[in-house]
Structure 1
Amino acid sequence: MNIVILDDYQDAVRKLPCARKLDPYPAKVYTNNVKGIAQLAVRLRDADILVLNRDRTQVTKALLERLPRLKFIAQTGRVGPHLDVHACTERGIAVAEGVSSPIAPAELTWALIMAASRRLPHYIGNLKHGAWQQSGLKSASMPANFALGSVLRRRTLGIWGYGQVGRIVAGYGRAFGMQVLIWGSEASRQQAREAGFDLAASKEDLFRASDVLSLHLRLSESTRGIVRSSDLALMKPTAIFVNTARAELVESDALVAALSRGRPGMAAIDVFESEPILQGHALLRLETCVCTPHIGYVEQDSYELYFGSAFDNVVNFIRGTPTNIVNPGALQVRR
């Protein structure tokens, strides 16, 4: 069976120890991303098995209809809205879900919080151009000495979503001497209370009180656009908004507008509505936004874990013993 692996931007997959699992089988790895259905259909026309690198490619019903050979999709990490599982089931395409880990995303979240609060990208960038102890943040509309940066101790860390990642980030905040404030579902708030964290009285209270607000929600139809312009407008002019979850959780264009108005004062972002983004993206043009290219899980241990699990699912499917199938009905569809 022909195996196609998409969106390996750094050409890393072939160098992973777990890649040896696919040695007996023909596998093609693509290191660039294409968006159009026509382009994807050409790229995948000979694929019997598709390995998805997280949600970097949208697999829609329209695309699946142009892939008559496709029998199996192995997802690295968890299945999300990028993959039309219902359409897969209708066409008899089995989908296997992989494993995930909150460690790397939580660590990146904290790295972004530290970088933004101490203005590290600004200081580093200016130092390379000969400017000593200059962050370059000099807008007259900024609060006094905003350019200096600030420590985290005794400040308030707001976390919306006390799941696996949010729980770890809350622990980091506690270790750094921050007051941690939690908002989320009733069940998650109860878990946070039992762990000794304070709860926000409301969503509005969370946005008003936070010096750093970090978003840790899963994307679904109920959470899409859940952060609105009116929420961001409640934030302090010195506050930092952090999103390493999903860009679509925030109302489209709301963050750019909010940063332009100075509430919040800064943002640290790892996720974007359409990826990869182009050089002229609006957030990249803002000096008050620290951006990383969706690297939440992009590190060696996570790659080995995620792809190792996906490749196990591929091998098991080829051997006739499919594992971790999220749509078992697809296995009953005649092809």
Structure 2
Amino acid sequence: MQIAILDDYQDAFRQLDAAKRLAGHQVTVFHDTPPDAAALAERLEPFDAIVLLQQRTALSRAVIERLPNLRFISQTGRNLGHLDVAALTERGIPVSAGGSGGPHPTAELAWGLILAALRHIPSEVDRLKGGQWQGSVGTGLHGRTLGIYAFGRIGSLVAAVGRAFGMRVLCWGREGSLARAREAGYEAAASREEFFAAADVLSLHILSTPETRGIVTAADLARMKPDALLVNTSRATIIEPGALVAALQAGRPGHAAVDVFAQEPVLGAADPLLHLPNALCTPHLGYVEWGTLRSLYDAAVAQLLAYAAGAPINVANPAALPQRG
């Protein structure tokens, strides 16, 4: 098979054992993302199989219909919102979607962002390298309120660290989420309004779906304290478009730390959040660590080899497979 490995920004795939298991296949690794659908279709036209790392590349019907050689997609993770599965199924192209990196790396990054933002670590590092000494006063965590929106796998880990720091942990979300939080001994907010108004640090861990698009509104943000910190390591689409930039400019909340953006990758500093002095931004690093990439690529290669052997696994659209009589 001719196989394309997409969006491997750090050239990590070739450093992993998974790459060696594809000996005998023609593998091409790409380290950037094409600027538009036409360029993406042109790039992918020669390939029989594509490896997609999480949701870094979307495949629309317009792109899929321009890929005459495509026979198989190996997707890491089970989120298929970036794929036109119907178009793939019509073309008889199965999507194998399996593997998971686990919640810990993103929870770790969330706390890295919180501490970096509240203690002004990036700017103090720059000052020291520039020949200067202290220039800011940080904000401590003990005794303050940590808001967790969505008490799931990641949110529960972030909450546990907040508890260890001596913070009051206040939770919000759907009833199932709140039930899990109460069972774990955490406090559920009496109302959405109280949740946003009370949090000193508010961390978002909401799964991105059509139903959650824009679930955090401008009105929610306007209720936050002028010295509060909003943290988003989930997806940018869960916040109402344009609302976070406007809220930061208005001073409620006073600060944000974000790892996700409406359009990714962000090149040429082409996102307004990057130009706000009260926003700390990282380039979607949540799951980008060796253990996670090893797990994701191991799963992707296992799916490729199973398909090549005629026994595909983890198939998300079984109707695309040949029907046996």
Q: Taking structure 1 as the reference length, what is the TM-score of the superposition?
A: 0.93
The within-5 A match list for 1:237-316 is: 237-277=226-266, 278-316=268-306
For the pair 1:236 / 2:236, whether they are aligned, the reply is no
- SS across alignment from 1:222: helix
- Structure 1 position 18, deviation (Å): 1.8
For the pair 1:188 / 2:182, whether they are aligned, the reply is no
Q: Distance in 1 between the 2:195 and 2:123 partners?
A: 28
Q: Distance in 1 between the 2:95 and 2:274 partners?
A: 36
Q: CA separation of 1:126/1:160 partners in 2, compared to 1, >3 Å: closer, same or farther? A: same
Corresponding position of 2:113? 112
Q: Distance in 2 between the 1:12 and 1:285 partners?
A: 30
- SS across alignment from 1:50: strand
**Deviations 1:273-293, CA, capped at 9 Å, x for gaps:** 111113243111111111100
* Structure 1 unmatched ranges of 5 or more: 136-147
- Structure 1 position 268, deviation (Å): 0.4
Corresponding position of 2:23? 23
Q: Distance in 1 between the 2:42 and 2:270 partners?
A: 29
Q: Is the 8 A contact 1:90 1:333 kept in 2?
A: no
Q: Taking structure 2 as the reference length, what is the TM-score of the superposition?
A: 0.96
* Structure 2 unmatched ranges of 5 or more: none
Q: Distance in 2 between the 1:280 and 1:330 partners?
A: 39
Q: Distance in 2 between the 1:206 and 1:65 partners?
A: 46
Q: Is the 8 A contact 1:35 1:57 kept in 2?
A: no
Q: CA separation of 1:267/1:333 partners in 2, compared to 1, >3 Å: closer, same or farther? A: farther
Corresponding position of 1:6? 6
Q: Distance in 2 between the 1:9 and 1:328 partners?
A: 31
Q: Is the 8 A contact 1:266 1:289 kept in 2?
A: yes
- Structure 1 position 131, deviation (Å): 2.6
Amino acid at match of 2:305: V
Q: Is the 8 A contact 1:227 1:249 kept in 2?
A: yes
Amino acid at match of 1:63: V
- Alpha-carbon RMSD across the aligned residues, in angstroms, is 1.3
Which is further off, 275-284 or 289-298?
275-284
- Structure 1 position 333, deviation (Å): 6.9
- Structure 1 position 79, deviation (Å): 2.1
Q: Distance in 2 between the 1:301 and 1:49 partners?
A: 24
Q: Distance in 1 between the 2:174 and 2:108 partners?
A: 23
Q: Distance in 2 between the 1:99 and 1:153 partners?
A: 37
**Deviations 1:226-254, CA, capped at 9 Å, x for gaps:** 11111101000110000000001111111
Q: Is the 8 A contact 1:127 1:134 kept in 2?
A: no
The within-5 A match list for 1:1-335 is: 1-100=1-100, 101-135=102-136, 148-277=137-266, 278-332=268-322
Counting aligned pairs with the same residue, the percent is 50
- Structure 1 position 66, deviation (Å): 0.5
- SS across alignment from 2:244: helix
Amino acid at match of 1:41: A
When the two structures are aligned, how many residues end up with a matched partner? 322
- SS across alignment from 1:295: coil
- Structure 1 position 323, deviation (Å): 0.6
- Structure 1 position 106, deviation (Å): 0.8
Q: Distance in 1 between the 2:256 and 2:323 partners?
A: 48
- SS across alignment from 1:307: helix
Q: Distance in 2 between the 1:89 and 1:333 partners?
A: 13
Q: Distance in 2 between the 1:15 and 1:305 partners?
A: 13
Q: Distance in 2 between the 1:128 and 1:152 partners?
A: 27
- Structure 1 position 185, deviation (Å): 1.3
Q: Is the 8 A contact 1:92 1:333 kept in 2?
A: no
Which is further off, 83-92 or 218-227?
83-92
